[in-house]
Amino acid sequence: MTQGASGGRPAVIVVMGVASSGKTSLGERLAERLGWPFRDADSFHPPENVAKMAGGTPLNDDDRKPWLTAIAAWIDDLRSKGEHGIVTCSALKRAYRRVIVGDRPDVRLVYLKGSRELIGRRMAARQHHFMPPALLDSQFAALEEPGDDEKPLVVSVEDSKDAIVQDVVERLGL
């Protein structure tokens, strides 16, 4: 098991991956299992970002700055109170992860990894979400998989949701 630099249990878990990789499902299930608060990164987006994505336009880095800053502030608030939490965030680029994980040794990154084909099928089956399937290719194009130096817990999305939750709990020592 790989632990953060603190060597202990994580204070906050950041679940990352492209759209439809299962971030929200995993985050909700982990929160339920651990009794930790959960926030989906979508809830941190300003209304302009939601409208842009709903219209089929990918966000640019300037659009993402206030979103990432808000996520980082939530993480820091939890940590300052000595509390735990789980947040989902696509966190596709290393620069984004530097904002939300950075040098916080008690924040662990869980990367949901899957093929374009599998995730595309999942996205096509989703209903009532502002991210249209046409933007999935832009997600994979932007994805910079986390490197070993980021100490990610890499999880395959091919397993059942229950198996993924169990894997994460065990590997993080929770």
* Percent of the chain residues past pLDDT 90, beyond the cut: 68
- Report the pLDDT value the prediction gives residue 138, as an integer from 0 to 100: 82
DSSP for 125-167, written as a single string: H--S-SS-GGGHHHHHHH--PPPGGG--EEEETTS-HHHHHHH
Q: Is residue 77 part of a domain?
A: yes
Q: How many domains does the chain have?
A: 1
Mean pLDDT, range 41-70, rounded to an integer = 89
52, two tokens: 């842009």
The CATH code of the domain that includes 139 is 3.40.50.300
Residue 2 forms part of a structural domain? no
Residue-wise pLDDT for 76-101, tens only, equals: 999 999 999 999 999 999 999 999 99
Q: Which domain holds residue 157?
A: 12-171
Please state, in angstroms and as integers, the Cα–Cα distance from residue 169 to each residue in 22, 34, 71, 146, following that order.
16, 9, 23, 20
Comparing 67-76, 109-118, 128-137, 165-174, the range with the smallest average pLDDT is 128-137
- In angstroms, the CA 100 to CA 8 distance is 19
Q: Which two three-digit tokens encode residue 69?
A: 């800053």
pLDDT grade for 136, boundaries at 50, 70 and 90: confident
* Measured distance CA(169)–CA(131) in Å, rounded: 29
The model's pTM: 0.86
53 close to 131: Cβ distance less than 8 angstroms: yes
